[in-house]
Each structure stands twice: as structure tokens, then as C-alpha cells.
Amino acid sequence: MNKIKASIIGASGYAGAELLRILLLHPNVEVVGITSVSYTGQGIETIYPSFTKICEKLLVTEEEAVELADVVFASMPHGLSQELAATCDKNGKVFIDLGADFRLDEGEVYEKWYGKEYVHEDLHKKAVYGLSEIFREDVKNTKIIGNPGCYPTSISLGLYPAIKNQLIVADDLIIDSKSGVTGAGKGLSQKTHYPECNEAFSPYNIGKHRHTPEIEQTLSKFAGKEVRVTFTPHLLPVNRGIVSTIYCNKATDMTLEEIRNLYVEAYKNEKFVRVLPLGDCANLKNVRYSNYCDISLHEDTHTNKLIIVSTIDNMVKGAAGQAVQNMNIVFGFEEDAGIAFIPPAF
């Protein structure tokens, strides 16, 4: 099989470097272009020495990288992907955005939460939200994909069977999520400075995190009605991983075992979603460096609550791995091609 040609715009960031790590081992892909505004002309191994003798490509301009590619991955801050998507669309290239520019359906919502405008409304109508397991058929038929955020991926996969089967009261959800520091990106801030985050643990952006509308949009599609959530993220003093603990009021008399059976049925054909046995609890250490989402189910009989724990690696399933999974779907490759990583045992 001929290999497709891939370029990464923003390869010097954490998600971009993770994409490169994955794509270099993909059996159906040749990486032809990598870019960085800050490091153009340098070799990627000078920024990430782990690529020494594996990939020593020079970081080129965006124009060069796009021209060579069949698929373009954008790993950039919000507001920078729309013009790039327009160029790719004009030239018939698949465009997968790891940023926020193509995640939200409504321009007004994007402007409210991100302070930017939709400048190509036609492209946003073409774009598909790339939660691979749920919107696979839509992903197959598009060339513009908004890759989901890391928190929304863990939360949406955790809640999908419960909402689909009307097991919970969908308008009264409390979501408590924790992420490793890589989720904040490569740019250093006070809260991600080592002395501030090491031996520390606290919530941030309480009641105003930008992933909130994305979470609500996706859950509302599952429910067929508007869903609002209380979402509080926390910063863990670890490099990678997300754990989302979701508190739901039950809307059924089903036992926890019966609820788990519905989860198993919902994800029976999904390689990357693992519903754990009752009594086990999802733990981020068991999904690190992998594209898996582990889900465990628990019950508080005192308050009649279903408690869902969902965990992913924010850099893989929450970013680069899911982007490659979406690429595999678009091009008709085996869905786990290049991302069938086994999590390290310790």
C-alpha cells in the first residue's frame, strides 16, 4: 500500500511532538513536513533529543509543509487554524485540528468562550467533531475534523451509554476532572512552573473552563435536549493523564451490574474503550502512553447516585492518538494502525 503524506503544523509543542512520535511508527504514513514558528530551520532533535537518530527533519515553513501533504495536522493555539483549514480545503487535503477552532457548532458560543470569530462559516458547516467512537460515520465523510479536547473526550466516553440509555438525570451532572501538567501546553505559566505545581494539587478555572461548552454540546447531542454541567478541572502534579469522576443522579432501578452490562454492550466493538470489572477503579497509570479510555462504574446507594470514573492519557487519546485514529477512519486504514500501544505496566 502506498503511504499517505502527513505534515504537522506546530510540531514543537507537546501535542505536535506526540503526533510526530506516533506518525513515525505508522505503517501507512510518511511524515513529509513539520513546522514551528519559533524554531524554523532547526532540526526537531535539537528541541526534543529523544528523536536523535530517529527523526532529524528540519522544521520548515507552513507553506512548504502543506504543499507536500495529503493530511495536515494543526497543533496550534485557538484562533490560528481557520485560514490553514481554508487552504487545505481549497487544495483537497484532509485537515485535522487539535485546537479548538472546529469543535463548537455555533460561532456565537466560540466567540463567547474564546474571544475569536468564525471567519469561514462554510468550513465550519463542513467540519465534523471527531469523537471517534461516537461519530465515526460522520468522520468517514469529511475532510475537516475538529479533534475533541482532552477533558471532553474522557467525560463524553464516560457518559455516553448512561445518557443514551436514560440511566441518569442528564441535567444534573457534576464533573470533577484532574489533568497532568502537559494539558496546559508547552508555554510556561506561573501555575505550571515546577515549584508551583510540584507537591501541589488544586482546582482552576472554576465555573469558567473553556471545555465546558464543548462538553455540554456533545452531551446534549447524546440526550437530544440541552444538557448543562458543573465542571471543575484540577491540575495534578504528573506529566500526563486525566481522571474524570462524574456524579449522576440515577433515573433507573437497574442494578450496577445491569448498568455495566449496558456499558459493555455499547462499547463491545470499540478497541480503545475498556469497561472495567465491578470493584475495579479506573487509574491513569493503566492508560499512560496509550489510546485507551478506561471506565469504571460505582454506586452510592445512600444518595442513589451512579459514579462514573473515566481515565485517558491526555496526550494520546486526549490529543495526538485520537487525531491519528480519525485519520485512520478517513483514509480507510485499520483504526488502530500506529496507535495500538500497550500501556506500561509500571
- CA 320 to chain centroid, in Å, comes to 7
Is residue 322 within 8 A of residue 270, CB to CB? The reply is no
Q: Which of 55, 150, 248, 293 is catalytic?
A: 150
Pairing of strands 293-300, 305-312: antiparallel
What string of DSSP letters covers 189-200?
A: -TTTSHHHHTT-
Is residue 256 within 8 A of residue 171, CB to CB? The reply is no
Q: Would you give the DSSP letter of residue 12? A: T
> How many Cα atoms within 13 Å fall on the side-chain side of residue 196?
9
What string of DSSP letters covers 193-244?
A: SHHHHTT--EE-STTT-TTHHHHHHHHHHHHTS---EEEEEEE-SSSS-EEE
| CB-neighbour burial class of residue 232 (10 A; exposed 0-12, middle 13-18, buried 19+) | middle
Round to whole Å and give the CA distance between 95 and 139: 12
Backbone angles phi, psi at 160, to 5 degrees: -50, -55
Order of strands, sheet of 273-275, starting from the edge strand that comes earlier in the sequence? 202-203, 229-235, 168-179, 242-250, 305-312, 293-300, 273-275
Note if 88 is an active site residue.
no
| CB-neighbour burial class of residue 77 (10 A; exposed 0-12, middle 13-18, buried 19+) | middle
The set of catalytic residues is 150
